[in-house]
Each structure stands twice: as structure tokens, then as C-alpha cells.
Amino acid sequence: MQTQGDAELEQIVNEKNVLEIENARLKQTLKDYEVRFAKLEQNDKEKTIHIAKLDNEIKEIKQSSVNTTSTEIENSNDTPEQIDLQRCFSIRYIRYYFKFRYI
């Protein structure tokens, strides 16, 4: 025959087991979030590096475009408006090229 004290003890043990299971689940969830956070940080670093490289390439392309435009002006009988249209076309091409290259 089970006394009231034994029933209370059994209930406390059961509650303790439930809490231990919940605690283990929460610890695993925390570890999962830590791993996910570390991956997000790594992706952020990689994207930052990639953006910096793209910025450098854009600067180089702009400088190259300026150099090309000044050379075209020196060696051309075209009007500045014609040269500006050529430059706009080349910039659009460059943007189009990089849009699909780095997706």
C-alpha cells in the first residue's frame, strides 16, 4: 500500500524527470542556435569580403572607363555627346556583366 508521502515523492520524481528532459532539450536548442549564429557570421564575413572585391573592381572599371574616354576624346572627331553615349553604353554593359557573373 502506497502512502501519501510515497505518492508525493513519486510525483516530485516525475516532475524532476520532466524538467531534466526539458532542460536537455533547451540545451540542444541553444547549441543549434549557436551553430546557426556562427554560420551567419561566417556568411556575413564572406559577403563583406566579396562586396569589397566588387567595389575595387568597380573602381578599376570606372578608372579604365575614364582613361578610355579621355583617350577617345583625344583621338576622335566625335562630339562630346557621342562619346558620352558610348560611355553610358559601356557602363550598362559592365553592370549587366557583373550582375550575372556574381549571382
Q: Where are the domains of the chain?
A: 4-101
AA identity, residue 9: L
> Average pLDDT over the chain, rounded to whole?
79
**For residues 32 and 70, what is the distance between their CA atoms, to the nearest angstrom?**
57
Q: Are 54 and 98 in contact (CB under 8 A)?
A: yes
From residue 37, alpha-carbon distances to 42, 46, 48 in Å are 9, 14, 16
Question: What nine digits make up the cell of 21?
Answer: 528532459
pLDDT at 31 over 90: yes
DSSP 91: H
Question: What nine digits make up the cell of 66?
Answer: 575614364
Q: What is the pLDDT of residue 42?
A: 94
Q: What is the pLDDT of residue 103?
A: 46
Q: Are 87 and 69 in contact (CB under 8 A)?
A: yes
Tell me: the pLDDT tens digits for 45-94?
999 999 999 988 888 888 887 676 555 555 555 555 555 555 555 666 56
AA identity, residue 26: L
Q: Which residue has the higher pLDDT, 25 or 102?
A: 25
pLDDT at 34 over 80: yes
Q: What average pLDDT does the segment 12-27 reach?
A: 98
pLDDT at 13 over 90: yes
Q: Are 48 and 56 in contact (CB under 8 A)?
A: no
Question: What nine digits make up the cell of 30?
Answer: 541553444
